[in-house]
Amino acid sequence: LPAYGDKRRRNVTPQEAPVPPPARSRPIRLLAAASALVALTAAIAGCAPQSEGEGDADDGHVVSVDAGRLRGSVRDGYRLFQGVPYAAPPTGARRWRPPEPPAAWDGVRDATLPGSPCPQPAMGGAAATGKEDCLFLNVWAPERRSGAERLPVMVWVHGGAYMWGSGDAYPAQRLATQGDIVVVTINYRLGALGYLAHPALAGGRDTGNYGLMDQQAALRWVKGNIGAFGGDPGKVTVAGESAGGASVCGLLNSPASKGLFRAAVMESGPCAGRGIGAAQEAATVFATSLGCFVEATAADCLRALPASALTGPPKRGGARTVSALPDTPASAVSGLAYGTSLLPGPVVGDPALKVPVLIGTNHDEVTYVLKGRLQPEEYASGLEALYGDRAKTVARAYPRSSHDDDAGLAYGHAVTDGDFACRTRHVGRAFAPHTKVYAYEFADPDPVSWSGVQQLFGSKEVGAAHATELPYLFDFPGVTFTEKQRKLSDRMIAYWSSFVSTLDPNGGNRAHWYPYRTSTDSFLSLRPTGSVTINNFGTDHHCGFWQPIVTGKP
């Protein structure tokens, strides 16, 4: 096998970095190497026309939705409605059950502050946070314009390894106003509360995937209510990054999503999931560790536990495994379970919803942030946890000797290529025969000085790492663009919003974005120096080597 060196990648030394994850089920295995990064990114962090009866004629920031009236805030060129309940609190008997519609309220509900995030463990120096009453969303809408048509809508699903994050951490004013679209950012149940697939919780129905059910409930709310904010319920695109991107794939694969959206965006989150049998087995072990080991009473036992018991530090039971994620009890049970009526499968194949898809990855997802953080023995054990009996083959293809004898750099290079770039390409190739696909690679070699990745590792020299594209789309605080980076941000917002509006990212005088074809293998490379079509993505990331590992076929 050829040894894939690192000549194309800069040598940098972040002060801190994660180490390889232990053996896990498919969804966590895919996203573990960078999930903490996107979680920290999320942690730091007026309306279009209304038809008669949708709002107060004399007060443009009060609107009426199914459950009652909402008062938002008027900003410079847009209106913002925060903490809007799209489902009833999933507490008590509603824990681990499909979401129910929110209760109606009297009077005008204040929507000027965010709602609580969902319960999530401590991470990156931040304390554990969140309440179970957390199924809220936020609406960013351009200011009212008399007589204007309703605007297309983008619904954003945040990342964070299914364990961290919230919708309000993604300020979307520029995306909404510059893109002339309505943006909705949502919360959904996380960790064990969102994905525990214990058989005792089934009650004759599917078990697990409660976070996915929440996302579908939010999309149903959007279909029924977005007109009050000037949005067009017939022009909804669902989008997400990292675990949010993998969630979007789950939504595409779920027959229950039919009619909820007409297009999808997947950023750095290729399709991922495990079988329901494996998910149930992991859930049973998890419940047993919490003292709920009798199946007949396990459901009541689990529902009686406080949320902190489900998200707090794990009970020690042997040696701690090397992991890129903080050591949390929910990590083993967080993520999508395939093989249910809600999510039949396969994970990658002919999607249930054949809608246009914009999909992509970052050039250096986890390459540089791992440099200097792994011992040689951790490189071997980490590859074994990720790739099983193929680990030695991967180690020969990505030897430390070709990466400055640095185990972290070699490991990061392998994970970037195998778990992000080539899996993204595999999804594009699988979807392209069924629908139009636009593929990109974010490739700013020195991204803006603010991002969760850079703050976590104390260095800005992380290349185009996981989550570094997010400040180019969202208005995170403290970001300072160079002139070329500002132009890249403007182009990206134009591409994304055009896709949301017309199902085609093209328009204006920006570089043409060609649909993905297996024969051309074309990706749009998003660079500060100008976006260009590339046809060497598969070669650059050695996807010929990864194909049997990614697809499970020779």
CA distance 434 to 264: 14
Active site residue: 466, 489, 497, 522, which one?
Answer: 466
Which residues lie closer than 8 Å to 343 by C-beta, 6 or more apart?
209, 212, 250, 253, 254, 273, 336, 337
SS3 content of the chain, % helix, strand, coil (to 5): 35, 15, 50
Task: Give the tokens for residue 381.
Answer: 């054990």
Rounded to an integer, what distance in angstroms lies between the CA atom of residue 395 and that of residue 364? 19
Three-state SS across 61-130? EEEEECCEEEECEECCCEEEEEEEECCCCCCHHHCCCCCCCCCCCCCEEECCCCCCCCCECCECCECCEC
Length of the chain measured in residues: 554
Element (H, E) at 380: helix 376-387
CB environment 97-116: b (16+ within 10 A), e (fewer):
ebbeebeeeeeebebeebbb
Tell me whether residue 155 is exposed, middle or buried, using C-beta atoms within 10 angstroms of its C-beta: 0 to 12, 13 to 18, 19 or more: buried
Please give the Cα distance from 176 to 139 (Å, whole number). 10
Contact, 416 vs 347, CB < 8 A?
Answer: no
What gap in Å lies between CA 411 and CA 395, rounded to an integer? 8
Catalytic annotation, pick one of 116, 242, 268, 331:
242
User: 360 in helix, strand or coil?
Assistant: strand
| 523: three-class secondary structure by DSSP | strand
Task: Report d(CA 213, CA 304) in Å as an integer.
Answer: 22
- 357 neighbors 225 (Cβ within 8 angstroms): no
With contact defined as beta carbons under 8 Å apart, do 355 and 263 qualify? yes
* Residue 242 falls in the annotated catalytic set: yes
Nearest C-alpha neighbor of 312 from the set 125, 120, 39: 120
Instruction: List the one residue out of 472, 210, 503 whose CA is nearest residue 336.
Output: 210
Helix (H) or strand (E) holding 402: none
CA distance 426 to 249: 13
User: For residue 84, which phi and psi values (nearest 5 degrees)?
Assistant: -85, 120
Q: Side chain identity at 487, as an amino acid letter?
A: K
Residue type, 29: R
Q: Which of 143, 267, 365, 384 is catalytic?
A: 365
Q: What is the DSSP string of 420-477?
A: IIHHHHHHHHHHTTTS-EEEEEE--SS--S--HHHHHHT-S---S-TTTTGGGTS--T
Angstrom distance (rounded) from CA 473 to CA 170:
9
Q: Which sequence positions are flagged as catalytic?
A: 242, 365, 466
